[in-house]
Amino acid sequence: MVRQLVWVRHGPTHQKSFTGWRDVPADLSDGAAISRMANWLPEGAPIISSDLKRAVATADAIAAGRRRLPHHRGLREFHFGEWDGRHFSEIAEDYPELSRTYWEEPGDAAPPGGESWNDVTARVAQVVDDLLSRHDGDLILVAHFGVILCHLAHATGLPPYEALGHRIDPLSATVLAQSGGTWRATHVNHKP
């Protein structure tokens, strides 16, 4: 039996800075895109989201009568610590070595007070493993750019630096299919 995890990135936030645990809203004004996503998602699959309002609102908008599971804090975006809300160029100037390592060698490097790639990967893998053990069939998970990339890399064995090369646009779907215990990506950044 093939089982799918359908990751959906929340709607656009229009932020021009690191946006992790700051609870900013999503712009869900593109009704046509929301309708296309809702119609494209697997029927009967339950939907769960991060507990940040941009993911919750997106999940509610695309649920289309699907069963909603309680929001999960473990699906939150990276905790960017002291970098949250600051522009990328400002961080590169204030933390030149750390910011370069953070992007070029994702692993254990973390912003002050924040999470590393490995931290987020472990957090999300634990949540997904728990969900898969409690729910049969496909699952729809509404989350964030970093969370989706971490799980894509973890599930498929893709090196983190290569995973960071993928685009994950707002209101896009990334689908992982499991067959015989092996996960593979069937869609990355798909826009129905």
pLDDT tens-digit series, residues 78-88: 999 999 999 99
Q: In this structure, what DSSP letter does residue 5 have?
A: E
Q: pLDDT value at position 180? A: 87
- In tens, the pLDDT along 112-160 reads 999 999 999 999 999 999 999 999 999 999 999 999 999 999 999 999 9
181 pLDDT higher than 90: no
- Dist. CA 49–CA 157, nearest whole Å: 24
Beta bridge partners of 49: 142
**Span 44-64, average pLDDT:** 97
What stretches of the chain adopt beta strand conformation (E)? 3-9, 47-49, 139-143, 173-179, 182-190
Residue 48 bridge partners (DSSP): 141
Q: 3-78+116-190: which CATH topology?
A: Rossmann fold (3.40.50)
pLDDT in tens, 95-116: 999 999 999 999 999 999 999 9
Q: Are 93 and 27 in contact (CB under 8 A)?
A: no
6, containing H or E segment: strand 3-9
Average pLDDT, stretch 46-68?
Answer: 97
Can you say how many angstroms the Cα of residue 152 is from the centroid of all Cα atoms in its chain? Answer: 9
Quick one: pLDDT band at residue 2, thresholds 50, 70, 90?
confident
